């Protein structure tokens, strides 16, 4: 039977090193299967996160040969096995142990964003009427499984470590889903410009490329938000018009 060699990063916040494991390869196997086999047979204490094993929960994010991916959706027959496959934890986040990283920053960021605030119901029974075409875009954003691969690959977070100044692509998508929700009445643009740090994004589209849900993060979420910010804060004509416009 065919075998493959994996170089898996073993360590914690204080450092670590790559360890080599070799495991058998069967048809259709994904990287997570290999990790599980190694865990069950050779390294019981190898730490990794996973849940659904079907690309729906976004737990098993890691860097496979240096590329941020979900381990459960990466087939071994799609990567070269004639040399060792390297597996590393996401580099934009502090390592807890082995492949598990501390992603708690993401949860704190989400909490800082103003929650959904709907307009009053349209019908006496407390329901709303929304056309499907008005929510197609929002539904695209809501496909996000919070794997944080977009955060991992974003150079603002990964290389420049601006976690305190920039919320990252995941939360720009999150804000876009709220701002474009037809029922929402909140305005999150001022915070997006300041605490959200949207200006740090220089639309290199790395996030879009790694998104396992194929959300067009940059084109559909970030650029429209940037345009709204420009309209709101930097358009002199708009500002003038707004000055004379009666307050609603």
Q: Which residue in 146, 191, 232, 235 binds another protein (CB under 8 A)?
A: 146
Nearer to another protein, 99 or 189 (CB): 99
> Could you say whether residue 2 binds another protein (CB under 8 A)?
no
Long-range interactions of 199-207: CB distance < 8 A, separation 24+: 200/156, 200/162, 200/165, 200/166, 201/154, 201/156, 201/166, 201/169, 201/172, 201/226, 204/155, 206/150, 206/153, 206/154, 206/155, 207/150, 207/151, 207/153, 207/154, 207/169
> Could you say whether residue 48 binds another protein (CB under 8 A)?
yes
- If 0-12 CB within 10 Å is exposed, 13-18 middle and 19+ buried, where does residue 119 land? exposed
How far is Cα 8 from Cα 23, in angstroms, rounded to an integer? 12
Residues in contact with another protein, counted by CB under 8 A, come to a total of 59
Specify the DSSP class assigned to residue 120. P
- Phi-psi region for residue 97, left (φ > 0), alpha (ψ -120 to 50) or beta? beta
> Could you say whether residue 10 binds another protein (CB under 8 A)?
no
Q: Which residue in 5, 29, 79, 81 binds another protein (CB under 8 A)?
A: 29
Q: Which residue in 11, 16, 18, 56 binds another protein (CB under 8 A)?
A: 56
Nearer to another protein, 3 or 44 (CB): 44
> Could you say whether residue 118 binds another protein (CB under 8 A)?
yes
At residue 242, the 3 state secondary structure works out as: helix
> Could you say whether residue 173 binds another protein (CB under 8 A)?
no
> Could you say whether residue 57 binds another protein (CB under 8 A)?
yes
> Could you say whether residue 28 binds another protein (CB under 8 A)?
yes
- Using CB under 8 A, list all residues that contact another protein: 12, 26-30, 33, 39-41, 44-59, 73, 75, 96-98, 100, 102-104, 107, 110-111, 115-116, 118, 121, 126-132, 135, 138-139, 142-143, 145-146, 178, 181, 184
């Amino acid at each position: 039977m065919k075998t493959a060699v994996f170089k898996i990063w073993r360590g914690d916040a204080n450092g670590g090193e790559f360890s080599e494991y070799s495991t058998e390869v069967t048809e259709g196997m994904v990287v997570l299967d290999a990790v599980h086999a190694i865990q069950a047979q050779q390294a019981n204490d190898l730490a990794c996160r996973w849940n659904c094993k079907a690309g729906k929960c976004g737990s098993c994010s890691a860097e496979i040969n240096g590329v941020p991916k979900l381990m459960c959706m990466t087939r071994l027959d799609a990567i070269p096995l004639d040399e060792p496959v390297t597996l590393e934890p996401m580099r934009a986040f502090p390592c807890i142990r082995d492949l598990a990283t501390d992603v708690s920053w993401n949860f704190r960021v989400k909490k800082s964003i103003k929650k959904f605030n709907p307009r009053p119901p349209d019908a006496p029974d407390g329901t709303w009427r929304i056309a499907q075409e008005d929510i197609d875009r929002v539904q695209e954003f809501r496909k996000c499984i919070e794997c944080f691969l977009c955060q991992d690959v974003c150079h603002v977070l990964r290389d420049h470590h601006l976690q305190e100044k920039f919320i990252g692509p995941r939360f720009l998508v999150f804000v876009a889903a709220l701002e474009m929700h037809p029922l929402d009445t909140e305005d999150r643009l001022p915070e997006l410009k300041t605490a959200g740090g949207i200006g740090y994004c220089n639309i290199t589209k790395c996030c879009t490329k790694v998104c396992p849900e194929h959300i067009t993060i940059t084109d559909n979420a970030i650029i429209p938000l940037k345009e709204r910010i420009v309209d709101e804060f930097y358009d002199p004509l708009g500002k003038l018009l707004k000055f004379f416009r009666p307050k609603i």
